Structure 1
Amino acid sequence: MKRQLISTFGIAALAIGMTACSSSGSTSADKSPASDPKAASGTVTVWLMDDAQKNWPDLVQRVNDEFAAKYPKVTLRLVYQGWADKVTKLDKALADGSAPDVVELGNTETMKYVLSGALAPVDRSSFDNSDAWIKALANTCTYQDKLWCVPYYAGARVAIYNSAAFQQATGSGEFPKTETDLLAALDRIAEKNKSDKSFSPLYMPGPYWYAAASYVAAYGGSIAKFDSSGNWHGTLHDAKSQQGISHFVDLVRKYNKGDLTVNEQNQYEAMARGRAASFYGNGYEAASVAAPGTGDPSLKDAVKLATMPGPDGKPLPTFIGGSDLAVTAKSQQTALAADWVRMFTSGKSQQALADKDILPNNLTQLAPLKSKPSTAAAANAVPDAWFTPLAPGWGAIEKQKILPDMLTAILKGKSVDQATKDADAAIDQLINTQS
């Protein structure tokens, strides 16, 4: 799944070579490459997503220069990949023995490669700020008490709103900081626009399971849990999970005046067409609202981001987006590869990302971004972020749309109690089997 960014900067960087080098070799990424780094030799191939090429080529160049200075006899080959076909290319490369030594993975992709044995374990203690890594992001790299990749950067969902619509209806262009105040504001907006039956004060798509699961997390519930018997099982029928789902459904029913069965894929269009005052989405969706071609350029100054308040007086827990960096298990240069990852995720490198308004991988360097206007909304949503169950069958659960179908069934009249019970049964059939 493509992991989008909070902002876009920079120009394209030069890719260093286009070939990959990998075959059977060490399965550990923690052996010393050589007692004398200047005597180390060989080739290290790195696959980075083209986000780095477009947005922080200066960071890539600095790290590559640092690596070259430490290992002057090692050839570094950098290949930029696109999200649309990276997984297909990687699967083929792993099958034919031409996989890279280091690969960037969207954090929803990691478990597939961990379970298939494609990644080498790494030593968490050897990476900068690892004791302060954002927990949910680190969890995307952790399986059976081992670390299989390194958090690279984070992403978060935020409230996206039309400040002019809020100003006109409530007298303030600021997004409310508590849910109580938000609901009061949404009610005022609804009253202001009551003549337009298609206008949504909060456009919250019915099958939007990422949002529903955020409310589940806010109430202390979960999608599934790993039990003492060594198996995963669905927990949507648990009382706290049902509270979150019920709260989400209530918001959808009250404030979404569109088709409740439509998903969130193009939710920005509701605001772009003047049919919504706010929605909950990835930060980059705000740009689509006012972009020529996809939206209404006249909304450019009105569209703003804010932290979405949750029902418990805290920010709504967000699904943790972002990317990870992994060393492939069959690399002949696992130690050298791991050292490049150390350099690329060092405190200095993470600060370079933070300076470009990209959320770093750790809470220490995230802290200043919580008060920076351009990053506050996302940064404040991250500390309590959640992630999908790191279970063998999670991919099949997503593919079969169990959660969206559950939400749609509730909105069509099935009780929350029955729908969550049915969803847990479907989850239990799939979650422990590798997909």
Structure 2
Amino acid sequence: MKRQVLATLSTAALLATAAGCSSGSPSPSPTNVDAKDVTGSVTVWLMNDAQKSWPDLVQQVNDEFAAKYPKVQIKLSYHEWGTKVGELDEALASGQAPDVVELGNTETLKYMVNGSLLKLDRGSFDNSDNWIKGLAETCTYKDTLYCVPYYAGARVGLYNSKMFQDATGSAELPQSEDQLLGALDKVANKYKGTPGYSALYLPGPYWYAAMSYVNAYGGAIARYDSSGNWHGTLHDTKSQQGLQHFVDLVRKYNKGDLKVNEQDQAKVLGHEKAGLIYANGWEQSVATAPITGTPALQDVLKVAAMPGPNDKPLPSFIGGSDLAVTAKSANAQAAADWVRMFTSTKSEQVLVDKDTLPNNLVQLAPMKNKATTAAAANAVQDAWFTPAAPGWGAIEKQNILTNMLNAIFAGKSVEDATKEADAQMDQLINDAG
């Protein structure tokens, strides 16, 4: 999945600057070194999204940094989501880690738990009192901040308005789920002659969507109990109800291979084999690009809040990126200041102007009333996130939720599959590895 994260710190509240500092520990007192006298370099790893989508922001921050730190060299490189974690693990193990690294918000927990990231002073960053709650939580472990929210994302309904217009008489996506299901039935009937057409293309192994329905029913993947341990709760009644609802929708509307995940769902929509998908906002560009989609759909594909059960929008998983300073950075003062500049109010406004959700509620507010951003902006404030448990990384790595869904669509009951998944999670979820 596409996600991103960054972390920063101000010069006034500096972290340890020596390479030999204890893992994850802040310096006992601020440094008095003038920024113009700081030497050396700051190595920054950003994801290639920044290079493609806001190179002007990167240049703006690098220019600002150079003016403040004229003797410090910025060594910037861009990385791919599929390979970044492996590259970072190797760099950390060899003592060649970058000073600043962008992390997807589901990647942060592992590095917070194992001491790879420097502790940060939340109050030293712009808008820290108004950070989007779900995103700030991805940077926090045991009440300590280890990274800074960079930008946010939320899933929305992405649909072909012409198909809905032709089938239902309205180009608008219904706002209640009951109305949506009625509309989907009409869309499915209208295009039943199109081979492989899905009125709602909802992939079977799409666990982010499945857990949104679990959340909508008041369930959860796992909970933290009074004894101080996490335990899986997918077999709980409310979680099973939400999961069964997801399964029923997939079986009724997805006419493709139910074992195929959501990776190419935008292509399915872009090639006019679907009426509606539950997607990240950026997937619209995939659906309207040459080869992966159809450029002529640029004004046809629309975004809207995805209707969920109980006459409420479907709760979204909060996507996004954070920025962190690594624990053994040899130039932590300058590295933290670079992050502070990159997540400042001025920098976040560049993202807002590009219809990318910022890290804070103040700059998010106007986007709730803008047609191109309203659905995601309204969804992100109450979005859910994966458990902040020490062993969550191992659970994702072993594909426990994906395997559970595949087992259900292969014939196993929701009750049996959730009990097995919880048992597997309970073996891993409290172990930091």
TM-score by length of 2: 0.90
- Kindly provide the CA deviation profile for residues 198-244 of structure 1, in whole angstroms up to 9, marking residues without a partner as x: 43211111121110001111222110112222221101112221221
Matched ranges for 1:195-344 at <5 A: 195-196=193-194, 198-344=196-342
* d(CA) in 2 for partners of 1:291, 1:48: 24
* d(CA) in 2 for partners of 1:36, 1:399: 44
TM-score by length of 1: 0.89
Pick aligned residue for 1:173 from 171, 174, 190: 171
- Kindly provide the CA deviation profile for residues 318-352 of structure 1, in whole angstroms up to 9, marking residues without a partner as x: 11111110011111222332222112111111111
* d(CA) in 2 for partners of 1:96, 1:275: 47
- Kindly provide the CA deviation profile for residues 271-295 of structure 1, in whole angstroms up to 9, marking residues without a partner as x: 3443321111222322333322223
* d(CA) in 1 for partners of 2:196, 2:426: 39
Which residue in the other structure is 2:20 paired with?
Answer: 24
| Aligned residue identity for 1:129 | N
Matched ranges for 1:352-431 at <5 A: 352-431=350-429
* d(CA) in 1 for partners of 2:403, 2:57: 43
Residues 286 and 328 of structure 1: is their aligned pair in 2 closer, same or farther, counting only changes over 3 Å? same
Which residue in the other structure is 1:117 paired with?
Answer: 115
- Kindly provide the CA deviation profile for residues 249-291 of structure 1, in whole angstroms up to 9, marking residues without a partner as x: 1211222222223222222343344332111122232233332
Residues 340 and 250 of structure 1: is their aligned pair in 2 closer, same or farther, counting only changes over 3 Å? same
Contact 2:389–2:430 (CA under 8 A) maintained in structure 1: yes
1:119 to partner: Cα distance: 0.6
* d(CA) in 2 for partners of 1:338, 1:77: 15
Pick aligned residue for 2:67 from 51, 60, 69: 69
Provide the secondary structure at the position in 2 that maps to 1:266: helix
| Aligned residue identity for 2:21 | G
Contact 1:23–1:98 (CA under 8 A) maintained in structure 2: no
1:42 to partner: Cα distance: 3.6
* d(CA) in 1 for partners of 2:98, 2:432: 24
Which residue in the other structure is 1:12 paired with?
Answer: none
Residues 157 and 230 of structure 1: is their aligned pair in 2 closer, same or farther, counting only changes over 3 Å? same
Provide the secondary structure at the position in 2 that maps to 1:85: helix
1:58 to partner: Cα distance: 2.3
* d(CA) in 2 for partners of 1:4, 1:306: 23
Which residue in the other structure is 1:3 paired with?
Answer: 3
Contact 2:160–2:301 (CA under 8 A) maintained in structure 1: yes
Percent identity at matched positions?
Answer: 66
Contact 2:109–2:393 (CA under 8 A) maintained in structure 1: no
Provide the secondary structure at the position in 1 that maps to 2:151: strand
Contact 1:225–1:389 (CA under 8 A) maintained in structure 2: yes
Contact 2:4–2:104 (CA under 8 A) maintained in structure 1: no
* d(CA) in 2 for partners of 1:106, 1:285: 17
Contact 2:4–2:102 (CA under 8 A) maintained in structure 1: no
Residues 402 and 420 of structure 1: is their aligned pair in 2 closer, same or farther, counting only changes over 3 Å? same
Q: How many residues align?
A: 420
* d(CA) in 2 for partners of 1:259, 1:90: 35
- Structure 2, unmatched stretches of 5+, are 6-16
Residues 409 and 99 of structure 1: is their aligned pair in 2 closer, same or farther, counting only changes over 3 Å? closer
Contact 1:318–1:382 (CA under 8 A) maintained in structure 2: yes
Contact 1:38–1:73 (CA under 8 A) maintained in structure 2: yes
1:35 to partner: Cα distance: 5.4
1:195 to partner: Cα distance: 4.6
Provide the secondary structure at the position in 1 that maps to 2:264: coil
Residues 65 and 270 of structure 1: is their aligned pair in 2 closer, same or farther, counting only changes over 3 Å? closer
| Aligned residue identity for 1:3 | R
- Kindly provide the CA deviation profile for residues 53-85 of structure 1, in whole angstroms up to 9, marking residues without a partner as x: 232222222222322333334333333333343
* d(CA) in 1 for partners of 2:37, 2:194: 72
* d(CA) in 1 for partners of 2:90, 2:380: 34
- Structure 1, unmatched stretches of 5+, are 6-20
* d(CA) in 2 for partners of 1:132, 1:312: 29
* d(CA) in 2 for partners of 1:136, 1:4: 14
Contact 1:29–1:337 (CA under 8 A) maintained in structure 2: no
* d(CA) in 2 for partners of 1:59, 1:115: 31
* d(CA) in 1 for partners of 2:327, 2:371: 41
| Aligned residue identity for 1:293 | I
Which residue in the other structure is 1:160 paired with?
Answer: 158
Contact 2:156–2:305 (CA under 8 A) maintained in structure 1: yes
| Aligned residue identity for 1:150 | V
Which residue in the other structure is 2:8 paired with?
Answer: none
